[in-house]
Chains A and B, each alone.
Chain A
Amino acid sequence: MRKFFPVEELARDERFNKITMRDRMGDPRTALNVSNDAPAKRPTNLRLTPDRSDASDGARSLMHGIFVGEIQALEGAGRTCWDFETGTEAPFALKLDMARQCWDEARHVEISVKLSDWMGGEIGQYAENTVLFEAACSTDPVLRLAGVNRALEGLAIDVFTTMKEFGDLAGDPYLEFCEDWMLADEVTHVKMGSDWLRKITEHDPDRRKKALEFQSVVDKLFSYGGTRSESQESPIGLARRFRELAGFTDDEVDDIAQLSMQALNERKSAVAQARADQMRDAAAQFATSAAAE
């Protein structure tokens, strides 16, 4: 069986349509209110709660994102069991943790399919962003743990907390219950990543630094466009309490909060600039045609 599987070759049936982060970044649209438009035109609070007028559609879309995320997390943890030599590249106990994670993720995939069905969604209804698996393609197991277990599974903690609260507020007993159970597993996965990162790099500060830098890049990618931050403009919040339980220090959570806000503000600036450019081009075009007349 081949090692280090490329993201382009992930097996999916005809129901799925894979897109990359590049595709997503190429979408010039945004739900963010960057021009002080009236709230009726562009809402300033985009947090996914039941009182949003499009709450059901938003929750269904996020549920599908969780579903494909679980598939890719399963694939990533599975690859970590196989891609590295036991003992020389990765300790057996680390692989055992990854095998346990595979079992959890497989169960989460099944739960997510059933929840999607319950919410009126269908498998493959939304595009699958493969950025999660891309974070699992590093050739260094420590970087992979930082990218997958700490950044990706950390995002999962934020997403599950948002969805659990959504289920609680909407009175949806299945959603709240299932998200709560999956959240408990995700906290464990992040904890495994945090523990192994510290243990393996205990005497290798350079490698630890590199891993944490990689995690930081992945965290920012996952916050792209302000999808996840402490601002109410982001659909997904930052679950500080559960991140603490998962082994993140206060400083680390603060760093992620800052990175997320940075991603949100960069996106807003980029959109505002694009709008200004568009207005300038339209004005120039109008001036040219007026002069010609």
Chain B
Amino acid sequence: MTVSVTPATFSYVAFDAELIRSIAAGLLAALGMADHDVTIDVDETTPLARISCTIDESIHVHVDSGAFEDTRKPRQQSETATATALGRVLLRARDRLVGGFGEAPPDKELSLAQVAAWETYCIGRLQRFGVPVNQQRWRYNFRNRHGFSDATDAAFEQIWTSDGLTWDQLNAISESAAASAHA
């Protein structure tokens, strides 16, 4: 396994490439992905917090600096934010590679509701791996995408506590929640 981070030194933000690399390496080991090479490309010119990845023979992560930032201390890195952002994108990559997500559309074609459902699934598992998580943050995101209803909250709990979902199962829960909320 190799993990490379660009840029090697940061000028817009006070981030540490070695810290990013070691967090990614730790996550890859914990998630059973130690046989994968990963490149992490940080766009330090934007404070937005988007993160995405593409997969070929390696996993390529593209991230805006806001995703790794300590929101209390602008331009400083947060280990927890780094672990949460990398963990959720690596879990999505793992789902695509080995987890019954072959039917899932490419990332760019996912609806906002599908993204929220998949992120809920990733963050729930990440919490069980020991990464500190504010569950209400993700519940609110799930509600924003599926509607504010008891059915939505039940769907969130089901996804959050699951471990072995396939894409079809995850998508079915998401669609059912959205339909109930809008009925």
Please list the residues of chain A having a beta carbon within 8 angstroms of any beta carbon in chain B: 17, 19, 23-24, 27-31, 40-42, 50-51, 53-57, 60-61, 117-122, 124-127, 170-173, 275
Q: When A and B form their complex, which 8 residue pairs have the shortest distance between CB atoms, in order from nearest?
A: A120-B137, A120-B136, A56-B141, A17-B72, A29-B47, A120-B140, A126-B71, A119-B140
Could you say which of B46, B71, B108, B148 contacts A173, with CB atoms under 8 Å apart?
B148
Q: CA–CA, A19 to B65, complex, Å?
A: 19
Judge if B128 is at the interface, Cβ distance under 8 Å.
no
Q: A176: shortest Cβ distance to chain B, in Å? A: 10
Judge if B131 is at the interface, Cβ distance under 8 Å.
no
- For B136, what are the chain A residues with a Cβ–Cβ distance below 8 Å? 117-120
Q: Is the CB of B144 within 8 A of A172?
A: yes
Q: CA–CA, A53 to B66, complex, Å?
A: 14
* B: contact size bracket: 20 to 34
Q: CA–CA, A56 to B140, complex, Å?
A: 7
Besides A56-B137, A57-B141, 18 new A-B residue pairs in contact (Cβ under 8 A), listed by A number: A17-B72, A23-B74, A28-B12, A29-B12, A29-B46, A41-B43, A53-B50, A54-B48, A56-B141, A60-B137, A60-B140, A119-B137, A120-B135, A127-B71, A127-B72, A127-B73, A171-B148, A275-B45
Judge if B125 is at the interface, Cβ distance under 8 Å.
no
Known: A57-B49, A117-B136. A27 touches B144 (CB 8 A): no
- For A126, what are the chain B residues with a Cβ–Cβ distance below 8 Å? 71-72
Against A, the Cβ 8 Å flags (1 = close, 0 = not) of B108-139 are 10001001000000000000000000111111
Could you say which of B71, B108, B147 contacts A125, with CB atoms under 8 Å apart?
B71
Judge if B13 is at the interface, Cβ distance under 8 Å.
yes
- For B74, what are the chain A residues with a Cβ–Cβ distance below 8 Å? 19, 23-24, 27, 127
Task: Tell which of B46, B75, B147 has the most Cβ of chain A within 10 Å.
Answer: B46
Known: A61-B71, A125-B72. A29 touches B112 (CB 8 A): no
Q: B8: shortest Cβ distance to chain A, in Å? A: 15
Q: CA–CA, A27 to B43, complex, Å?
A: 14
- For B143, what are the chain A residues with a Cβ–Cβ distance below 8 Å? 172
Judge if B95 is at the interface, Cβ distance under 8 Å.
no
Q: Is the CB of B48 within 8 A of A31?
A: yes
What are 10 residue pairs bridging A and B, where the CB atoms are less than 8 Å apart in the complex? A30-B45, A31-B48, A42-B46, A53-B50, A54-B50, A56-B141, A60-B137, A61-B71, A124-B72, A126-B71
